[in-house]
Structure 1
Amino acid sequence: MNRITSFFWICSGADRNLLQKCPTESSKYAGIGATIFFTGLFAAIAAGYALFTVFDHLGLATAFGLLWGLMIFNLDRYIVSSMRKEGRTKSELLMASPRLILAIIISIVIAKPLELKIFEKEIEPELVMMEQETYARQEKEFYARVNPSRDSLGRQIDILKKEIALKVLERNSRVRAAQEEADGTGGSKKKNLGPIYKIKKADADAVEKELQELSTRNNKRINELQDAVDRKDSLIAGEYNLLEKKKMNGPAARMEALDRISDKSSAIAWANWFIMLLFIAIEISPVLVKLMSPRGPYDNLLRQTEHEFKVQELESVTKQNAEAKEKASTLPTHEKNFLSDKLDASL
């Protein structure tokens, strides 16, 4: 038990020799040391898990997690051991404010990976939806890029086919007019093959000839355009197959998914905040324990020891200056005055 207490004293940054003279302060500084130790331990565990989600390598995550935990442990130990209980709350709080701010930043960084693990079952379906949305957006962007040139070829083919269709309608109309003139159902209403019929038949034949020429010309062009469309479709199909359906499973995607489900569910949003506040409380607990602890015998004894050290230092400097002045009395006057001024300035 004494070894554990001594270990926590070391963690608190307190002077063990002074603590042994203050038995009533033993448990307080053992508690402060335990708080610092477990804060560093929790920081190491959380940072190790966070780095494991990034690197997916147990060795690297363990090494950097331990390094992070030791850094937090050393930082807390330094800040707590350097804080002096003088009964001035404002000055003590001002001194601790950098650590409090840093604690908030560290908590946000460390809490996120654990939140992702806690809400993993809720995040997985959201990741699937995000993958589908991403792929749908990729498809839309892909077709928006490739469709205009293909549609242009298709419009040209439609125009050529429409020209042929219009010419067919004209041909049919002329043939029908000639036939009606021949059987007396139209035109002059006289059944004969006279001059009027011959004129209409000649018009129909002329249009038929135009239709044949137009069909030959347009069909040739249509075939060329259709070949171009087929080649374009082949290229589009090849590029489409190259579209990657990436699985969204990284930390950034998971954080985005957590934000999305937090927006949808107020319960998850509140849980996020409470987890964050919990980690902030854990991170700032060593400083809070030191701030909340009352001034005790150890603080008085530490102040007295530091004051005695300053007095001894001042006495030592004064003695050295006196000896130097005594030696300087044997020097010439101008050197004596110069050295005396220097010694007075050092006091």
Structure 2
Amino acid sequence: MFSGFLLSLVGIREDILRQAPSDRARYLSMGAILLATACVAAVAATFAVRMALRAPLPLALLVGIGWGVLILTLDRMMVIGMNRQKGRWRTALMVAPRIVLAVLLGAVVSTPIVLQIFDREIQAQIKVEQSKNETDYQRDLATDPAYQTIPDLETKVAELSAIASRDPAVIDRNPAVRQAQDAYDAASATLDEAAKAETCERAGWNCENSTGVEGIGEAARAAMDARQRAQEVVDQKKVILDKAKADAKAAEDINAVAAQAELQRIQPELDRLRAARDAKTIDYRAKSENSDGLAARLDALDALSAASPSINRMRWVLWATFLAIELLPVLFKLLQMSGAPTLYERLSDLADQSDERAASARIAQEENRIALARELDADRDYLEARERRRSESL
């Protein structure tokens, strides 16, 4: 049954082949070649659909089988349609279009298989390209005029948020407050030194510049007066510092209200720009993650071939191999036509001639029948017309 199927692919009549059993293996081989070529095409189409459309495997297999059937039909048509011609030029004109079509089909079939064989190397190259494209994208995004105001707006929002939050640290950074604080700290340091000197004089300790005499003497009174003056200076500086902080706080309250109003004005614009930038980035990365279809794989394979001579050689060897597989049916038929006619071909020609003579005889017989019927119709019409004239004359 299977051998009958293979012979039917090549268009062989088994009733004639039984008379030429020596040719049976040849035509079975040709049928097997046609079937193998269709299977390779089905596998290639399955790979192509998976790569290009990311289709599920059952759907890809269904499309692959359909493509294999189509290739089988085309190859069968080309093989059956190739007959011996009188003269080399007629043979060449008959064979050339079929070879061109076979080459085109072979290129289409072999490309997905070659891509699948180099899949690991291609995936690695695609990741390299995606990383490079991501770097280029970030650079272009940073220089995009539509989003160049984002860093300035972010800085401005941070400053306004600090002011609007009434952070005590902002008051401490006020120039007037810092100046008053420095003056107060200096006066406090002087007070500490004066208090230490007073303690040394009254206790009679051997401190620097002290008399070392215990009790309240002239030196102790002078030290007490110095401490008192230092305390008065500290009190004055404390009043100035408190006033500077109060003034700074009042100014910060006013600034906080203004900052809050300004923040409400520029925050929506910053949010809009950020959302647009993030949406653009999400869209780019979604496209980048899906950029591993047939075109991207071919570009990656081209890059690998340019960088590695060994991959380039292997790529074209594989491509030529699968191309040759697709060309096999036509080449096999051409080789058969270049030799002497086989016994099956001679028997088939005789059968065709016999069928043609029989068909010609049937056609001639049918033509004679039609001619006779026309003559009979003409005679009947003549007799009817003569009878009408006789009736009219009476």
TM-score, normalization by structure 1: 0.66
**Distance (whole Å) between structure 2 residues aligned to residue 132 and residue 149 of structure 1:** 26
**1:281 and 2:324 equivalent?**
yes
Question: Is contact 1:79–1:96 with CA below 8 Å preserved after alignment?
Answer: no
Q: What are the equivalent positions in structure 2 for 1:260-339 lying under 5 Å apart?
A: 260-293=303-336, 294=339, 295-329=341-375
By how many angstroms is 1:234 displaced? 5.8
Evaluate the alpha carbon distance shift between residue 38 and residue 306 of structure 1 in structure 2; reply closer, same or farther with a 3 A threshold. same
**Distance (whole Å) between structure 2 residues aligned to residue 233 and residue 324 of structure 1:** 93
CA offsets 1:166-220 (integer angstroms, 9 cap, x no match): xxxxxxxxxxxxxxxxxxxxxxxxxxxxxxxxxxxxxxxxxxxxxxxxxxxxx9x
Structure 2: runs of 5+ lacking an equivalent:
155-254, 383-394
By how many angstroms is 1:153 displaced? 8.9
Equivalences, count: 269
**1:250 and 2:298 equivalent?**
no
**Distance (whole Å) between structure 2 residues aligned to residue 61 and residue 153 of structure 1:** 51
RMSD value, Cα: 3.4
Q: What are the equivalent positions in structure 2 for 1:113-262 lying under 5 Å apart?
A: 113-143=112-142, 144-146=144-146, 149=149, 236-242=273-279, 243-244=281-282, 245-246=285-286, 247=289, 248-262=291-305
By how many angstroms is 1:63 displaced? 0.9
**Distance (whole Å) between structure 1 residues aligned to residue 278 and residue 376 of structure 2:** 100
Question: Is contact 2:41–2:68 with CA below 8 Å preserved after alignment?
Answer: yes
Partner of 2:64: 65
**Distance (whole Å) between structure 2 residues aligned to residue 316 and residue 56 of structure 1:** 56
By how many angstroms is 1:60 displaced? 0.8
By how many angstroms is 1:232 displaced? 6.4
Evaluate the alpha carbon distance shift between residue 153 and residue 297 of structure 1 in structure 2; reply closer, same or farther with a 3 A threshold. same
Question: Is contact 1:13–1:33 with CA below 8 Å preserved after alignment?
Answer: no
Percentage of pairs with the same residue: 23
CA offsets 1:62-113 (integer angstroms, 9 cap, x no match): 1111111111112222221232234644434433433322322222223222
Structure 1: runs of 5+ lacking an equivalent:
155-218, 337-347
**Distance (whole Å) between structure 2 residues aligned to residue 127 and residue 330 of structure 1:** 84
Partner of 1:39: 37
Question: Is contact 1:99–1:284 with CA below 8 Å preserved after alignment?
Answer: no
Partner of 2:5: 7
Kindly name which structure, 1 or 2, has the bigger radius of gyration based on alpha carbons. 2
TM-score, normalization by structure 2: 0.59
AA matched with 2:99: L
**Distance (whole Å) between structure 2 residues aligned to residue 234 and residue 324 of structure 1:** 91
Evaluate the alpha carbon distance shift between residue 69 and residue 141 of structure 1 in structure 2; reply closer, same or farther with a 3 A threshold. same
By how many angstroms is 1:16 displaced? 0.9
